[in-house]
Amino acid sequence: MLKYLNFIGATALILAAPSAYAGGKHGLGRSALPEEIAAWDGDVSPNGKGLPAGSGDALVGEEIFADKCASCHGDFAEGIDNWPKLAGGIDTLDHDDPLKTVGSYWPYLSTTFDYVKRSMPFGNAGTLTDDETYALVAYILYSNDMIEDDFVLSKETFSDVAMRNADGFIIDDRAETEYAKWTGEPCMQNCKDDVKVTMRAMVLDVTPSETGIDTPAAAEETSQEEAPAAVEVLDAELVEKGKKIFKKCKSCHQIGAKAKNKTGPILTGIIGSPAGVVDGFKYSKSMKAAAEGGLVWTEEQIAAFLAKPKAYLKGTKMSFAGLKKEQDQLAIIEYLKSVE
């Protein structure tokens, strides 16, 4: 109430004596001191100017990310619900629905550092130390397969990181090339002699895909004389656990009869399937090479891949560090086996 009365009193004073505030100067406050400006001046330029002292690597950043960022961005920077994905999207900028992340789209690493330092974590912005910011940025880079997990990011090593889309932007010259076309009085009626529809609006990712994974074994017809195959009994408890763990994968992968490709391929029927055969999905060069080499997704191969994708297949599009617990790997595999 006291604050409210003070506000009313100050307002009344201003209204009663406008001449005291003429010339745009209100007689309030003072000029900021250099040290006060420095405390808020955290600008970081693309060339690294303005970077603070400090350092951090992806291993430390992973722990900080799990504690302060994963609730919105997922454990592996894959994004949750409508919160942004921070990893993935490589080679998707020419797609109808590109995924723009730090790894696929951002041209300057300084933008990442500056934004994380100023604005994160959500609801508690500005609380990260310089070391924590370096570590978080390193983890984001690692999640995009841009650095190794032991790379120490610092003011000295900042320029060693090559951003994939650094050359993907052009100078905005619209003021010189386009603005002149839009000067003068706008045309409001009968502006063209002939009007026709040249394109139609398109809603993305709403049409279910009818394609699945066809394996050579599935294409073979079963002979009438052939004995019926034994039905594998699944561990219901392990399937349920795997279903819960699979929530970490759902932002990139779908599974089931109506599954469709997203950032990652559909996983229906993947157990026992050759690698790189999902129709309509654009695989990385390394996955194509593995497929040509005869890679088959046996339970053992999937477990090894899940343990540490980037170590298993250099250049993979998978954007998370892996499932460290063997029991979690087995649970995911059991769940994948349960869905047709």
Q: What digits encode the pLDDT tens for the residues 108-131?
A: 999 999 999 999 999 999 899 999
Which stretches within 120-245 are classed as H helix? 130-143, 174-177, 216-219, 236-245
The more confident residue out of 302 and 212 is 302
Look over the chain and give the mean of its residue pLDDT values, rounded to a whole number.
82
Confidence of residue 193 (pLDDT cuts 50, 70, 90): confident
Say if residue 265's pLDDT is above 80: yes
pLDDT at 202 (0 to 100)? 55
What percent of the chain is predicted at pLDDT more than 70? 83
Say if residue 67's pLDDT is above 90: yes
Instruction: Spell 142-152 as b/e; 16+ CB within 10 A means b.
Output: bbbbbbebebe
Task: Write out the two tokens for 196.
Answer: 């026709």
- Domain 233-338's class? mainly alpha
Kindly state the average pLDDT of the residues 235-244.
88
Q: Rounded to whole angstroms, what are the CA distances from 201 to 128, 147, 283?
A: 42, 39, 28
Contacts of 72 (CB under 8 A, 6+ apart): 80, 83, 122
Q: What is the DSSP letter of 246?
A: G
Look up the CATH superfamily of 55-160: Cytochrome c-like domain (1.10.760.10)
Positions of CATH 1.10.760.10 in the chain:
55-160, 233-338
Confidence of residue 213 (pLDDT cuts 50, 70, 90): very low
